Amino acid sequence: MKAVRLTALTGFDAIQVEDVETKPLESRQVRIKVHAAGLNFADLLMAGGTYQATPEPPFTMGMELSGEVVEVHPDADGVFPGDRVMARPGQGAFAEEVVTNDRNCIVIPHAMSFEDAAAFPIAYGTAHLGLSRRGRLQSGEVLMVHGAAGGVGLTAVQVGKAMGATVIATAGSDERLAVAKENGADYVINYQTESIRDRVKEMTGGVDVVFDPVGGDAFKQSLRCINPEGRIVVIGFASGDVPQAPANILLVKNVDVIGFYWGGYGGFAPEAIRDSLEKCLTLYSDGLLTPHVSHVLPFARVQEAFALLRDRKATGKVLLTPA
């Protein structure tokens, strides 16, 4: 079968479409015919060897997918041949077929397209679990989302609105902010031309929760406009700048800075991931969440797909398909 492989930790040049052998099923495993797979910023970091959980190359890339179950091990639980599923195998999603554990699969609603399902697990899982479990976001609070037109940022805008928050979206261009506005943001800030702190003070006076996959100056500005007992949820550092939090500001303002690595829950609390995703699927079925997919490209154009992510030319999700 065809698969997208990373052969070395040297960047795009080491990403190749290759023929690989299919794997036999082991206990609790299922085989899925892949219809679509989601590209994530973590995949981009892995290509350069800078992600915190990068396997030793060569390996098949891809962390999330949608498809149809074609085979199950006799002791697999809750998944059957013919089921339409979304899955988070950890790695290996960019292939024509994927073998993964049954617990990594969730059957999707009948009305959900494979494209929506492929765009769903990591972005919505990160946004919902980060905001609900770590950020403790409450209805009526003010939420600020940085990088609000990206894959996880845009979902955080939607999830925040579904949870009853007033949402402030920040991004680096008016075009990207327009996408955030279309997806529910109440206010928008262009951090290339405007001061985050000053604009927040004008709009709402302050924020209660910050969802931050950007880091850098956006994090520093957040400390200057967060309300007492506010929470900054640190998702990542897309800016390339890992900021330091001055402890004196945290003390004086009674502020929490909270780390959140969604993938880590697969090891110590996998039930939290499944419960969160099932709640998100209910919100999807109720029409409150709508995946935004800006590009769908075949495996053969994987270099182009990665460039779209690197150059900030995509909004929402980029998907790869076997053909």
Segment (H or E) for 19: strand 15-19
Beta strands per DSSP E along 40-174:
59-60, 64-72, 84-87, 97-101, 105-107, 142-145, 166-171
Per-residue CA distances from 61 to 64, 76, 206 (Å): 10, 24, 40
Q: What is the pLDDT of residue 46?
A: 95
Query: Of 115, 125, 130, 3, which is closest to residue 62 (Cα–Cα)?
Result: 3
User: 27: how many CB neighbours lie within 10 A of its CB?
Assistant: 10
* Residue that is written with structure tokens 């400390």 in the block: 223
Superfamily of domain 133-263: NAD(P)-binding Rossmann-like Domain (3.40.50.720)
Q: Where in the chain is the domain with CATH 3.90.180.10?
A: 2-120+291-321
Q: In this structure, what token pair is assigned to residue 247?
A: 């402890």
pLDDT band at 13 (very low <50, low <70, confident <90, very high): confident
Distance of CA 78 to the CA centre of its chain: 25
Select the more confidently predicted residue: 312 or 29. 29
Q: What is the pLDDT of residue 149?
A: 95
pLDDT at 12 exceeding the cut of 90: no
Q: In this structure, what token pair is assigned to residue 56?
A: 């030793």
Region for 94 from its dihedrals, namely left if φ exceeds 0, alpha if ψ lies in -120 to 50, beta otherwise: beta
pLDDT band at 188 (very low <50, low <70, confident <90, very high): very high
What is the dotted CATH code of the domain comprising 2-120+291-321? 3.90.180.10
* Interval 108-167: pLDDT, tens: 999 999 999 999 999 999 999 999 999 999 999 999 999 999 999 999 999 999 999 999
Pairing of β 97-101 and β 29-39: antiparallel
The rounded distance, in Å, linking the Cα atoms of 146 and 183 is 14
pLDDT band at 237 (very low <50, low <70, confident <90, very high): very high
Query: Per-residue b/e over 61-90, b at no fewer than 16 CB within 10 Å?
Result: bbbbbbbebeebbeebeebeeebbbbbbbb
- HEC string of 251-265 equals HHHCCEEEECCHHHH
Beta strands per DSSP E along 73-222:
84-87, 97-101, 105-107, 142-145, 166-171, 187-190, 207-212
Cβ-proximal residues to 59 (8 Å cutoff; 6+ apart), any chain: 5, 6, 91, 92
* Interval 277-302: pLDDT, tens: 999 999 999 999 999 999 999 999 99
Q: Where in the chain is the domain with CATH 3.40.50.720?
A: 133-263
pLDDT at 52 exceeding the cut of 90: no
Q: What rounded mean pLDDT belongs to the chain?
A: 96
Integer-rounded Cα radius of gyration of the chain? 19
pLDDT at 55 exceeding the cut of 90: yes
Q: In this structure, what token pair is assigned to residue 237?
A: 């550092």
Q: What is the mean pLDDT of residues 31-44?
A: 96
